[in-house]
Structure 1
Amino acid sequence: MVIPQHIRNLLKSLLCICLFSAVTVLYAQEKVDALKLYRTGRSLDSAGRGDEARTAYSDAINVCLAELKQNPRNMDSYTVYTWSLFRLHRYRETINICNEALKLASDVRIIETLGEAYFYVNDYKESLRQMERYIDMAPTGERASVAYFYAGDIYRLTKRYQKADIAYSAAVHLEPSNSLWWYRLGLAREQSGNKQSAKDAFQRALSIRKDYKEAADGLARLQ
């Protein structure tokens, strides 16, 4: 039986559509898998299973590299890639890849990761610049509270205590259940001489975490 040419052309077109759909689905699954691997790493870290967490982060990086080979402008892949590098404490590499990605687009997720990475290599000036950049671009973003916290830490470590107070206060306003942040706010206020407000912050830290020794010690210093 001879198949007419127009039928053969139609079959070829349908085959191409099916192949394209299959590749698209596979690629989408790869993207989900990279994020899933990263989140698995976070869960393992929280459970104290560090070796397994590092394996999950490394696997996430490999998936992201494969995605970026297919699409070098995939900002979702760059995001999970840099998150995973950061969790592996590969801060210099995180900085390099973040800066590479930001040449393509000003993605706030990568800007915030870059700010954190600079903090851990003690480049406070550049870390603060990136955190402020994130806050300007995403004042109510998912990581806004974290950005304010890092800004507060930088101001406190560089002895700019009033600015630290403002930044930490913004952080706890956005995320009031974080005992560490209240404790750091107390330290900044104590250093700037605001005794009563420092006591209030230490007390808030203790109300969240009753066994917080450092906060209890801070409160005792101010009695």
Structure 2
Amino acid sequence: MRLHTALICMIFLLITGPVFSQTGQNAARPDALRSYRIGRDLEARDRMDEANQYYNEAARICLDEISRNSGNMDSYTVLTWTLQRQRKYSDVINWGDRGLRINGNDYRIVETMGEAYFYLDRYEDSLRSMQRYVNSVPQGERTSVAYFFIGEIFRLQRKFYRADIAYTTAVRLDPGSALWWYRLGSVRESVGDLSPAIEAYERALRLNPNYREASEGLERSRRGST
């Protein structure tokens, strides 16, 4: 009986030992996405110095992962997200290009590069990236953001009707941004569509009653419509 019990214990240890060991290894493994998210949360609380410590850690982990496995698309993705938060837009483009040479259909990177191009004033490149994203991932997590940037580009190019369409799509997908409603109101006001402009400015002020530019736009539009 004792021999039987001992054999059972030995078998149990042989089966479970590696599992416990593997679990410990996974728990200790650096997690770039976790560091990125902590940094983003700190940034949202205006603690940028602390945020950058986590962003730097996330970038270091990603670079290490890429050095060991150059085909790891998650590493390229988190790296570009991290560099974007640090406003290292040229680095976003460089690493994004490397990732897309491995998998040209990683639309997470396509969208992030679209934002980086925008902040580098490369509007045509940004527009191509954003249009590619929304056409390929119409229900994507960043689709509303992509449409907002498309609207921004058309607004800066003074293509106000196209900007209206893009902003309208952005706020339909995500109606919670006062800035987006304000931008929509501004392009409508620019082409004299004052009643729709008033509606957009009012929505912006509902979300942020202290939004001075939206309040001024609303007053102008109301005066112009009488």
Measured in 1, the distance between the counterparts of 2:57 and 2:38 equals: 11
**Closer, same or farther: CA 123–200 of 1 in aligned 2, 3 Å:** same
Q: Does residue 170 of structure 2 align to residue 171 of structure 1?
A: yes
1:70-109 equivalence runs, <5 A? 70-105=68-103, 106-109=105-108
**1:82 positional shift:** 0.5
CA RMSD of aligned residues (A): 2.1
1:97-136 equivalence runs, <5 A? 97-105=95-103, 106-136=105-135
1:7-86 equivalence runs, <5 A? 18=18, 22=22, 25-26=25-26, 29-30=29-30, 33-86=31-84
Structure 2: unaligned runs, 5 residues or longer: 1-13
Q: Partner residue of 2:213?
A: 214
**1:141 positional shift:** 0.3
**1:63 positional shift:** 0.6
1:153-203 CA distance string (max 9 Å, x none): 000011000000000000000001111100000011111221111111001
Q: TM-score, normalised by structure 2?
A: 0.86
Measured in 2, the distance between the counterparts of 1:23 and 1:74 equals: 22
**1:25 positional shift:** 4.9
Measured in 2, the distance between the counterparts of 1:63 and 1:26 equals: 15
The residue type equivalent to 1:136 in the other structure is N
The residue type equivalent to 2:57 in the other structure is D
Structure 1: unaligned runs, 5 residues or longer: 1-13
The residue type equivalent to 1:160 in the other structure is K
**1:26 positional shift:** 3.6
**1:45 positional shift:** 0.5
**1:122 positional shift:** 0.1
**1:212 positional shift:** 1.0
The residue type equivalent to 1:205 in the other structure is A
Report the 3-state secondary structure (helix = DSSP H, G, I; strand = E; otherwise coil) of the residue aligned with 2:46: coil
Tell me the matched-pair count: 206
**1:22 positional shift:** 3.6
The residue type equivalent to 1:70 in the other structure is R
**Closer, same or farther: CA 155–47 of 1 in aligned 2, 3 Å:** same
**1:29 positional shift:** 3.7
Aligned-pair identity (%): 47
Measured in 1, the distance between the counterparts of 2:136 and 2:106 equals: 9
1:128-167 CA distance string (max 9 Å, x none): 0000000011001000000000000000011000000000
